[in-house]
Amino acid sequence: MHDMPGNRKIRVLIVDDSAIVRKVLTEALSAEPDIEVAGTAPDPYIASDKILALEPDVLTLDIEMPRMDGLTFLKRLMQFRPMPAIIISSLAQSSCRAAVQAMEWGALEVLAKPGGPYSVGELRRTLAQKVRAAACARLRPRAAAEEIAVPGPVWQPHAAPAETVLAIGASTGGTEAIAAIVSRLPATCPGVVIAQHIPPQFSRAFANRLNSISALKVKEAEDNDTLQPGVALVAPGDFHMLLRKTGGRFRVIVKPGPKVCYQRPSVDVLFSSVAEASGARAVAALLTGMGSDGAQGLLRMRQAGAHTIAQDESTCVVYGMPREAVAIGAVSQVLPLPAIGPALLTAAADRALRPSAALAAR
């Protein structure tokens, strides 16, 4: 765990082949009282020397660079000198895919390059938040999620009624945590709704990646999509997603709106809507991430009779959001990441066997 000693500033190395982007990022971060730009590098070779010389706390890394691409450099870095990395990527489809792949290899966050949808003011706020989260992250070795083998429950397709919903929320480190859970869910499991703090475009690449590793049909949610067993819907970046029940069926509303807990999509918004739509039939997991988003929504779910799970500190990249939820009494169960998928299914099956009145009384 990387805690900044005393009042020491978080030192950032910016790696990007564009002089303009280096300048914009440097100005954005230099304006923050708790962050300093230790240096910049136009390519991975110069970056390697500067990492050794400057010992930065956090790296920002471009994907597309001459001489060596950002993904190749990241793989080498995570092998020989693991450190918190934030990917700054263009919105080209191939770059979005590579950025999501970079998170598989240990990058913690992804951001769109300035000059695209970001105003400089928005970039400054968002980048600073991500740098702070990265600076206090616990780096996990690749595939650490598989180290603890947890037997899954015997899942009966008929066990959960259609009104059962699984809800998952996460931020920093969440793409890999969600992948570890969703990749092991069976095609017959209840419908899943996911809010991960991730920018527009990247959320689609993330949903596509989940779809490729899961038995579920996973897609980036569109307004009015129906949620049913075997389907997982991912909130699109920069939009809130809410669950609604109409005529005995679940569908999602995808809409703009003010940020909640500085986030859009907000886990609080999703969880609160699930509490209302699915009540005691719902099961939720709040995973790794900085800040407090999701804690109040999880509390509403627990008050509605839902079963609520928080990821434990030892397996979180950043133990922020789960800690907040535990602190306010929103959590029924605290579990290490590998145990969360089986626990979601067990709780869903358990709720299926109880009449609604018995659930509400719990």
Name the active-site residue from 292, 293, 307, 332. 293
268 is catalytic: no
Name the active-site residue from 197, 203, 240, 278. 197
* CA–CA separation, 81 and 57 (whole Å): 12
Name the active-site residue from 48, 90, 95, 171. 171
171 is catalytic: yes
**What is the SS3 assignment for the chain?**
CCCCCCCCCEEEEEECCCHHHHHHHHHHHHCCCCEEEEEEECCHHHHHHHHHHHCCCEEEEECCCCCCCHHHHHHHHHHHCCCCEEEEECCCHHHHHHHHHHHHCCCCEEEECCCCCCCHHHHHHHHHHHHHHHHCCCCCCCCHHHCCCCCCCCCCCCCCCCCCEEEEEECCCHHHHHHHHHCCCCCCCCEEEEEECCCCCHHHHHHHHHHHHCCCEEEECCCCCEECCCEEEECCCCCEEEEEEECCEEEEEEECCCCECCECCCHHHHHHHHHHHHHHHCEEEECCECCCCCHHHHHHHHHCCCEEEEECHHHCCCECHHHHHHHCCCCCEEECHHHHHHHHHHHHHHHHCCCHHHHHHC
* CA–CA separation, 150 and 112 (whole Å): 37
Structure tokens at 314: 């030892």
240 is catalytic: no
Question: Mind telling me the catalytic residues?
Answer: 171, 197, 293
